A and B are shown apart, each in its own frame.
Chain A
Amino acid sequence: MGVLPAFRLHRPTTLAQALELVNDDRMPYAGGTELLLAMKEGLLRPTHLVDLKGIGSLRDVRESGSGVSIGALVTHTQAADHPIVVDRLAGLAAVLNRVGNPRVRATGTLAGNLCFAEPRSDVAAALIALGGEVEIASAEGRRAMAVEDFVIGPYTTALEQGELVTGILVPVQPDLRFAYLKHQTTERPTLGVAAAANSHCSLVVGAVGFAPQVFRSPSPSDLDPSAIADRVEVVPDLTGSEEYKRHLVEVYVRRAVAALGGRR
């Protein structure tokens, strides 16, 4: 059995305590579905883990202004089952119910999913299309940032030293049409296409490149699947060649456009 490298565990019970503790070597820890794997593989070797699970204020799902705020400790399963999410963000709930497998969903948090910035994250692609924001706290105060700006590359976010993600804010737009289509043959998707439209349209191509790629247009019908398939950055790997993945992108973008009522 692979053994986790040695570390020391901190258990703050308030956000202020946690903010005093975290730095590059003291990593925030919640579900651990990505972090503990990376530690077992030797890819990450923090000497301290700061367990955020004792901070009750990060567990809430609540309506916040015109959106829904999902606390940093909320797991994929908890969010997908939460009445507010089911009622106001049914499209997101459907995405969450298909992330990874039931064990990953029951343990892993949405915030952790974004912070790990795995290029094939379903959640990142969906939240970008939905216009989601990341709520961030530091000793200096609080700020919010679009998920699109937060996820800047593979396993890389715009989070700065001393900052913690406290939650995710997803706007609720009753007239929004949303679709998420993915192609998946292993534990992570080969391609995920998220699309949302009301008075304007956002389409996000996830999983095939180093980070989710966003395309905007006035309406779904203005999106050109073939042009998008030519333009996206594609990383070939064991799940497919560049040519194959570009083909998939074209097919799935066309399907997403159709799902939103576009004509192509």
Chain B
Amino acid sequence: MIGLDTVEIAPRINGRETVLEVPVRMTLAEMLRDRLGLYGVKVSCEMQVCGVCTVLVDGQPVSSCTFLAADTDGRRVLTVEGLAEGDRLHPIQQAFVDRFALQCGFCTPGFIMMTKHLLERSPLPDREEIVEHFDGNLCRCTGYAPIIEAVQDAAGRLGRRGS
């Protein structure tokens, strides 16, 4: 029982079937950035506290800095790069731009992916729900108020689009 050193995995990343061989110690963030060039995935605290590395795996938010790439076999992985359609930004991205919900932008992909998860679970969240959902996402530029407005704005845009 010597165990595996590397594994072959077949995740669907941003809608594209992908086959990779990865060391078992490789994190999802390392795979997305270093193997696939998806630099929208940022890494900062590496302790699941700051939220910049957030991606969705089968629709659930995960901290890709401390999530094994090996665990994405057969699963859907969505990063911020998977949101826009060509040059057209996703309504959540557009809401962040229109509401000035970013300054340096480093935390933004994490906030956007967390927003995607929130609005899928709760299409019209109130302020308290939004604040609580971002318990594990840090922004040092905006003071959070424009981010909350952007989420509410995005909820409106997605609601109109859906109806």
A interface residues with partner B (beta carbon < 8 Å)? 1-11, 20-21, 32-33, 36-37, 40, 48-49, 51, 53, 77, 98, 100-104, 106-107, 187
Contacts and interface: CB of A to CB of B under 8 A. Distances in A.
B24 A40 contact: no
Given A10-B4, A48-B3, A102 B25 contact: no
Given A33-B66, A103-B54, A107-B63, 13 more contacts: A1-B27, A1-B43, A7-B24, A7-B25, A33-B48, A37-B46, A37-B47, A40-B46, A102-B135, A103-B51, A103-B63, A104-B48, A107-B60
Contacts, number: 91
B135 A101 contact: yes
Interface stretch (B67-75, B139-147, B150-158): B67-75
A9 B133 contact: no
Interface string B4-16: 1101000000000
Interface string B61-91: 1110111101100000000000000000000
Contact of A9 (B29, B47, B61, B70): B70
A1 B30 contact: yes
Shortest beta-carbon contacts, A-B, top 10: A101-B136, A8-B3, A9-B24, A106-B60, A4-B25, A36-B66, A9-B4, A101-B135, A10-B3, A103-B61
B114 interface: yes
A10 B30 CA distance: 21
B136 A100 contact: yes
B136 A8 contact: no
B3 A37 contact: no
Contacts of B71: 51, 53
B104 interface: no
Contact of A1 (B25, B29, B137): B29
Interface in B117-155: 117, 132-133, 135-137
Contacts of A107: 60, 62-63, 67
Nearest to A35: B66
Nearest to A9: B24
